[in-house]
A = this chain, B = another copy of it.
Amino acid sequence: MTLAGENTEHQILIAAREIFIAKGFEGARMQEIADQAGINKSLLHYYFRSKENLFDAVFSEVAANLFPAIKEVLGAELGIMEKITFFVKIYVKTLYENPFIPAFVINTLNTNPDRFLKYIKKSNLNPMLLQKQIDNEASQGLIRHVKAEHLLVNIISMCIFPFVARPIVQNIFNMNNEEYQKYLESRQNEIIDFVLKSLTV
């Protein structure tokens, strides 16, 4: 593959990513992706045989970037409290920079479950270790005892939800866009506070 080719392919992926994220698999149009990439529609099929293939290329890349952050932090050499603090900060920041990805993944997850199953690639995210650490620190009286599958889901829920349900939340609390940005930022510390307080013995 020559340089021109690689560049084109990259342009296509960028364009496809944008369109697919905005409209989902069914809502996206090959022509629109081509326009966005500034190329002929046939080129899409030249580089990626079909819409499915193109989507897969986009989705696998997007989905792949969702887990490493979690995994890395959870595996770090830190106490639970510090891990949580680190995780929330990193995760919310990541979401802040890619605010539409969670809704895209959730959408794909629920309307094309089969398509998603290809990428489950055993996330290698082993919650057993986290549970061990929790049990350990709990027996030392540092935190109260909780189940990892609840703690982790609780934290991730609170991080992600304001991004996927933004219009609702924004409306209920009567915020304009600027205020919502600030709200999202302020949630970092609020979530950390909320969780740590809850873990206090």
The 8 Å CB contact of A153, one of B104, B116, B158, is B158
Tell me the chain A residues, 83-139 only, with Cβ under 8 Å from chain B: 100, 103-104, 106-107, 109-111, 113, 116-117, 120, 122-123, 125, 127
Nearest-neighbour CB distance to chain B for A6, whole angstroms, equals 31
Q: Which residue of B lies closest to A183 (CB)?
A: B149
For the residues of A in contact with B, the DSSP-based class is: helix
In the complex formed, the residue of B with least CB distance to A160 is: B161
A34: shortest Cβ distance to chain B, in Å?
A: 19
Q: A107-B24, A157-B158, A157-B161 are known contacts. Are A149 and B125 too (CB-CB below 8 A)?
A: no
A152, A164, A187 interface centre (most CB from chain B within 10 Å)? A164
> A26 interface residue, CB < 8 Å from B?
yes
Asked whether A127 lies within 8 Å of B173 as measured between CB atoms, the reply is: yes
Which residue among A153, A160, A197, A199 has the maximum number of chain B CB atoms within 10 Å of its CB?
A: A153
Select which of B106, B152, B183, B198 is within 8 A of A197 by beta carbon: B198
Smallest CB-CB separation from A117: which chain B residue? B167
The reply to whether the CB of A47 lies closer than 8 angstroms to some CB of chain B is no
A111 partner residues in chain B, CB cutoff 8 A: 22-24, 27, 107
Instruction: Closest B residue to A66 by CB, please name it.
Output: B168
Asked if A80 lies at the interface with its beta carbon under 8 angstroms from chain B, I say no
Q: In residues 157-179 of chain A, which contact B (Cβ within 8 Å)?
A: 157-158, 160-162, 164-169, 171-173
A110 with B164: CB separation less than 8 A:
yes
Q: List 12 A-B contacts (CB under 8 A).
A: A22-B111, A23-B111, A100-B110, A104-B110, A106-B164, A109-B166, A120-B171, A122-B171, A127-B172, A153-B161, A157-B157, A164-B164
Contact of A154 among B125, B191, B200 (CB under 8 A): B191
